[in-house]
Amino acid sequence: MATDVERWKDEVYGNDIREHLFRFAEEGWDAIPEDEHDEWFERFKWWGLYHQRKGQESYFMMRIGTPNGVLEPGQLRTVAEVADEYARGPVDNPEFGAAYCDWTTRQSIQLHWIKLEDIPDIFEKLEADGLSTQQACGDSWRNIVGCPVAGKDTHEHIDAWPVAEELHETFKGNDEHSNLPRKWKVSVTGCDQGCGQGDINDLAFEPAEKHGELGFNVRIGGGLARKEPRFARDVDVWVPEEKVVDIADAATRLFHDHGDRDNRFNARIKFLVDEWGAEKVRRVLDEEYADWDLETAGEDLRDQYTYNAGGDEHGDHVGVHEQPDGNYYVGLNVLVGRQGVDDVIELADLADEYGSGEARLTQRQNIIVTDVPESDLDDFLAEDLLEDYSPDPHPFMRGSIACTGTEFCSLSIVETKNRQVRYARWLKENVDVPDGVTDFHIHLSGCTASCAQPQIADVSLRGMKTRKDGEPVEALDVGLGGGLGEHPQFADWVEMRVAADEVPGYIQNLLAAFDEQREGEETFREFVAARDEDALGDLADPEETDYEDPYMHNTKMTWYPYADEDDLDASPAPTDGDGETISADD
């Protein structure tokens, strides 16, 4: 039986949603019939808009898809100006202020508190500068990810940026591919470090050589959500660069035709690959969808992958790195991926002054300024802003990733970003970093949807609830030892329902145990892999410390976790285009 979402999509979906969205924007929040909220909010996702959670009615999160994380010169400033003018809510965030930009784990941008009435003006401003929210969410081609320094990387074998651009131009707004059974996440990388994170995408292109020619091997069916995380499967296909769009088209049509539209929880292509196996996927692709004979896989570079590989790794593009043209890119650490808007504007100024004006977003929620001449490097690195967004951050600041959490998200059950900021600061002040550890990944996701990619972190944290001193409090499940590299590994879950204020103490005890018990230069990931379930469970205990957590209460039940009066009843939402509360009598 078709799901509600499939029925709604049959009625209106894809590009056609825009005229309805603009009509609602013109007429105001109340123009969306209350009994049609679910269907319109589902459709708006296709245009990059998520309705915010209960208590924040009439406000939207807006996601801007920047393919491969590339912000062309001028675009960073445009994003900041949009955030400054339109992404302001009724209450400031205590860590980040009144307006801010989020850099996401899929190299996109998220702004919050967007009012329906402002959407046409925002689209006009974004689109005038080549930016778009189209298909940033919804059941279609999502933002294409890849090595964020494609075209500017000394580790590169193929410049994947033109490939990503061509895929973006072919499949964004393409009516034939606008209504897929579920989201469709694609990764393209041309470097030998694996930083496209292809393993966790629905469709992945990874550099490989065949007949002396560099092209791409194809993997299909990766994804992290819920209890079924999957690494993309090797379907034994190699394509030359000029065939990437064709095989992507074939794979998308296969998903379109065979993905499960009767059950959204079984709809991602990873489940079809589970059911069919990689061989059948290849055979069907070859016989029914590709109009040329598919080549078998070429020789890949996976044995060189260092990205998030757990050891001597190239983990996040943070730092100063030489480009092939002799200029430098400087990767700046953005704790939990959020920058206040004044800082973003200042960074846009610095990118203009010292680089080409281009900026790039990484899958570790960081930002890169490219094209800095060697002669300007020292002056750039001496800028005050880089004290807050360091190219040489402390390992705990460097490794911290967090999803949106209960601040705005309808799914999350715990507060995340501000908590992770506090965790990182406390760990930096109180926990000794084991020898040789430069980058310790701690990913905090507010629910099982896994937007912070917790399963591929050294320490995976995922939202839960527990009882403490008789009261329900926010808690986290804890996993250990995940990562990518040649042999990717999902985290082993070792603790359930650790009270959120005891997690820093747990990590402190965990790293003390690691330091004490590790053999020689053993990495944390090797250390975890060498231990069975019982040993991992016995490694460390949660512990209260002087860490203070102001978000232990049920933040899901507040209208905004940081408001002085945070009860749902105190919410000003829904509001009109001027931010004034819409009275129930209106």
What CA–CA distances, in Å, run from 28 to 128, 430, 574? 24, 50, 11
**Min separation Cβ 256 and other proteins, Å:** 23
CA distance 431 to 511: 8
Residue span 364-403 as binding mask against other proteins, x where in contact by CB under 8 A, dash where not: ----------------------------------------
Decide: residue 337, CB within 10 A, 0-12 exposed, 13-18 middle, 19+ buried. Answer: buried
Task: Give the pair of three-digit tokens for residue 567.
Answer: 């009860």
N-terminal to C-terminal alpha carbon distance within the chain: 39
- Residues 254-273 touching other proteins, rule: CB under 8 A, are 263, 265
Q: Which is nearer to other proteins, 122 or 411 (CB)?
A: 411
Q: Which is nearer to other proteins, 53 or 88 (CB)?
A: 53
Interaction of residue 493 with other proteins, rule CB under 8 A: yes
Task: Give the pair of three-digit tokens for residue 558.
Answer: 């507040």
Residue at token pair 């990619």: 453
Sort strands 186-188 and 145-146 into parallel, antiparallel or unpaired. Answer: parallel
Q: Which is nearer to other proteins, 58 or 455 (CB)?
A: 455
Helix H or strand E segment including 543: none
Interaction of residue 419 with other proteins, rule CB under 8 A: no
Q: Which is nearer to other proteins, 192 or 502 (CB)?
A: 502
Among 495, 501, 502, 549, binds other proteins (CB under 8 A): 495
Interaction of residue 492 with other proteins, rule CB under 8 A: yes
Q: Which is nearer to other proteins, 225 or 512 (CB)?
A: 225
**Min separation Cβ 280 and other proteins, Å:** 26
Number of residues that bind other proteins (CB under 8 A): 34
CA distance 314 to 318: 9
**Min separation Cβ 493 and other proteins, Å:** 5
Stretch in the footprint of other proteins (CB under 8 A) among 164-172, 221-229, 280-288, 301-309: 221-229
**Min separation Cβ 315 and other proteins, Å:** 24
Interaction of residue 406 with other proteins, rule CB under 8 A: yes
**Residues 52 and 410 sit within 8 Å (Cβ to Cβ):** yes
Interaction of residue 1 with other proteins, rule CB under 8 A: yes
Interaction of residue 497 with other proteins, rule CB under 8 A: yes
Q: Which is nearer to other proteins, 4 or 486 (CB)?
A: 4
**Min separation Cβ 556 and other proteins, Å:** 5
- Among 92, 29, 20, 19, residue whose Cα is nearest residue 60: 29
**Min separation Cβ 432 and other proteins, Å:** 27
The half-sphere exposure of 411 on its side-chain side, counting CA atoms within 13 A, is 13
CA distance 130 to 446: 32
CA distance 44 to 33: 14
CA distance 218 to 205: 5
- Residues 521-550 touching other proteins, rule: CB under 8 A, are 533, 536-537
Residue span 435-464 as binding mask against other proteins, x where in contact by CB under 8 A, dash where not: ------------xxx-------------xx
Interaction of residue 465 with other proteins, rule CB under 8 A: yes
- Among 345, 338, 337, residue whose Cα is nearest residue 81: 345
- Residues 223-242 touching other proteins, rule: CB under 8 A, are 225-227
Q: Which is nearer to other proteins, 412 or 420 (CB)?
A: 412
CA distance 12 to 39: 10
**Min separation Cβ 7 and other proteins, Å:** 14
**Min separation Cβ 52 and other proteins, Å:** 12
Backbone angles phi, psi at 61, to 5 degrees: -90, 135
- Among 553, 540, 365, residue whose Cα is nearest residue 465: 553
Interaction of residue 494 with other proteins, rule CB under 8 A: yes
**Min separation Cβ 473 and other proteins, Å:** 9
**Min separation Cβ 499 and other proteins, Å:** 12
Task: Give the pair of three-digit tokens for residue 251.
Answer: 């794979």
DSSP of 351-362: HHHHS-S-EEE-
Q: Which is nearer to other proteins, 74 or 537 (CB)?
A: 537
**Residues 206 and 158 sit within 8 Å (Cβ to Cβ):** no
CA distance 19 to 33: 16
Interaction of residue 496 with other proteins, rule CB under 8 A: yes
Among 482, 556, 573, 574, binds other proteins (CB under 8 A): 556
The half-sphere exposure of 485 on its side-chain side, counting CA atoms within 13 A, is 19
Among 248, 413, 511, 552, binds other proteins (CB under 8 A): 413
Interaction of residue 467 with other proteins, rule CB under 8 A: yes
**Min separation Cβ 339 and other proteins, Å:** 26
Classify 184 as helix, strand or coil: strand
**Min separation Cβ 507 and other proteins, Å:** 18
Helix H or strand E segment including 145: strand 145-146
Q: Which is nearer to other proteins, 7 or 467 (CB)?
A: 467
Q: Phi-psi region for residue 154, left (φ > 0), alpha (ψ -120 to 50) or beta?
A: alpha
Residues near other proteins, by CB under 8 A: 1, 53, 225-227, 263, 265, 406, 409-413, 447-449, 463-467, 472, 477, 479, 492-497, 533, 536-537, 556
